[in-house]
Homo-oligomer: A and B are copies of this chain.
Amino acid sequence: MRPAAFRDIAHVGSVELFTSVPEETRDFFVDLMAMKEVHREGDSIYVHAWDDYERHTVKITGRDRAGVGRTFLRAASPEALRRRVAAIEEAGLGTGWSEAEFGLGPAYLFADPDGHEMGLYYETERYVATEEHRPSLKNQASAFPGRGANVRRLDHVNFLASDVPAASAFMSGTLGARATEQIVTDEGETAAIWYSVSDKSYDLVYTSDWLGARGRLHHVALATDTREDILRAADVFLEAGVHIETGPHKHAIQQTFFLYVWEPGGNRIELCNAGARLILAPDWEVITWTQAERAKGQAWGLKTIESFHTHGTPVID
Chain A: residues with CB nearer than 8 A to chain B?
7, 10-11, 51, 53, 74-77, 135-140, 143-144, 146-148, 150, 152-153, 155, 181, 198-200, 223-228, 231-239, 241, 244-250, 252-255, 257, 273-278, 280-282, 284, 287, 299-302
Select A147's contact among B148, B199, B282, beta carbons within 8 Å. B148
Select A276's contact among B233, B244, B274, beta carbons within 8 Å. B274
Question: Which chain B residue lies CB-closest to A138?
Answer: B287
| Pairwise interchain contact B223-A276, C-beta atoms closer than 8 A | yes
Select A139's contact among B74, B239, B287, beta carbons within 8 Å. B287
Kindly list chain B residues whose C-beta atoms are within 8 Å of the C-beta of A150: 232
Question: Which chain B residue lies CB-closest to A149?
Answer: B146
Kindly list chain B residues whose C-beta atoms are within 8 Å of the C-beta of A232: 146, 150
| Pairwise interchain contact B239-A143, C-beta atoms closer than 8 A | yes
Interface SS of chain A: loop
A53-B198 in contact given A148-B147, A299-B137 (Cβ < 8 Å): no
Kindly list chain B residues whose C-beta atoms are within 8 Å of the C-beta of A199: 198-200, 278
Copies of this chain present in the complex amount to 4
Bound complex: CA A118 to CA B74 (Å)? 33
| Pairwise interchain contact B227-A226, C-beta atoms closer than 8 A | yes
Give the distance to chain B from A75, nearest Cβ to Cβ, in Å. 8
Bound complex: CA A143 to CA B232 (Å)? 13
Per CB-CB distance, the 9 closest pairs between chain A and chain B, nearest first, are A225-B275, A147-B147, A228-B228, A146-B236, A199-B199, A11-B280, A223-B276, A10-B282, A144-B235
Bound complex: CA A259 to CA B135 (Å)? 21
Question: Which chain B residue lies CB-closest to A254?
Answer: B139
| Pairwise interchain contact B238-A299, C-beta atoms closer than 8 A | yes
Bound complex: CA A232 to CA B74 (Å)? 31
A140-B255 in contact given A199-B198, A236-B146, A239-B146 (Cβ < 8 Å): yes
Task: Offer 17 A-B interface pairs, CB within 8 angstroms, sorted by A.
Answer: A10-B282, A53-B284, A137-B238, A137-B299, A138-B287, A139-B254, A144-B238, A146-B233, A147-B147, A150-B232, A152-B277, A198-B199, A199-B199, A199-B278, A225-B276, A234-B300, A245-B301
